[in-house]
A and B are shown apart, each in its own frame.
Chain A
Amino acid sequence: GAVVSQHPSWVICKSGTSVKIECRSLDFQATTMFWYRQFPKQSLMLMATSNEGSKATYEQGVEKDKFLINHASLTLSTLTVTSAHPEDSSFYICSATHLVFSPLHFGNGTRLTVT
């Protein structure tokens, strides 16, 4: 069964609103979670790395004030897309791991459409 749950699976929102995406590890403590973004027919690009209890590390070119990441517990990380615009429409997918050298588990992804 799925060990990483991502919610919602899809969301449609209006331009200017904020959207929160959750990534939960179901049966392990996720010390590190990763957020990826995938535009249609493109590859997955790492957006940020979050470690439980500390600030996320963002990849170059990713606006940290627009994509707020919170990893407040060992089983939950959230990605909030603030003031969403149509160009933020994408497939967002998280992955989680317990420790270095532990298996990496992916969520099922969230398809965000901003109208």
Chain B
Amino acid sequence: AQKVTQAQTEISVVEKEDVTLDCVYETRDTTYYLFWYKQPPSGELVFLIRRNSFDEQNEISGRYSWNFQKSTSSFNFTITASQVVDSAVYFCALSEASFQKLVFGTGTRLLVSP
């Protein structure tokens, strides 16, 4: 069975601090996909990244970066120089090879204060 664990329920930081959101997953599949989504208070899911299990290269997109470590089954997300607009709930998710049916973690609520 697939499982995603986001141990951090809520994180509070002050603007401009760096913050890392942890994600640990479990799967028996050799081919799988990992995702991060942002859910602002309005509720919609904003897609941030999709990574397949064969690509362990770290990725950077502006202030966002992701660290995929297959050896520890982790896919952590770092926001550099956080901003108030980053306040949201962030979900890590896992899917089988077809990356359609997603299993979500419980989410991490990030609060960035000015």
Count of inter-chain pairs, beta carbons less than 8 A: 44
Is there contact, CB below 8 Å, between A93 and B102? no
CB < 8 Å: which of B44, B45, B100, B107 contacts A97?
B100
Known contacts A43-B91, A43-B106: A100-B43 contact under CB 8 Å: no
Is there contact, CB below 8 Å, between A32 and B106? no
- Which secondary structure dominates chain B's binding surface? loop
Render B90-114 as a binary contact track against A, CB cut-off 8 A, 1 for contact. 0100000011111111110100000
Is there contact, CB below 8 Å, between A34 and B101? yes
- Cα A40 to Cα B91 in complex, Å, equals 14
Chain A residue contacts of B42, Cβ below 8 A: 108
Within B72-105, the residues touching A (CB, 8 Å) are 91, 98-105
Known contacts A34-B100, A44-B91: A108-B44 contact under CB 8 Å: yes
Residue of A nearest to B4 (CB): A43
Range class of the A interface residue count: 20 to 34
Range class of the B interface residue count: 10 to 19
- Cα A101 to Cα B43 in complex, Å, equals 25
Q: How far is the CB of B111 from chain A (nearest CB, A)?
A: 13
Chain A residues proximal to chain B, CB less than 8 Å: 32, 34, 41-46, 49, 91, 93, 95, 97, 100-101, 104, 106-109, 111
Extra contacts, 9 of them, besides A32-B100, A46-B101 (Cβ < 8 A), are A43-B106, A44-B91, A44-B104, A49-B101, A93-B45, A104-B102, A107-B44, A108-B44, A109-B43
What are some 22 contacts across the A-B interface (CB < 8 A)?
A34-B100, A34-B101, A41-B109, A43-B105, A43-B106, A43-B107, A45-B104, A46-B102, A49-B101, A91-B43, A93-B43, A93-B45, A97-B100, A100-B100, A101-B98, A101-B99, A106-B45, A108-B42, A108-B44, A109-B43, A109-B44, A111-B43
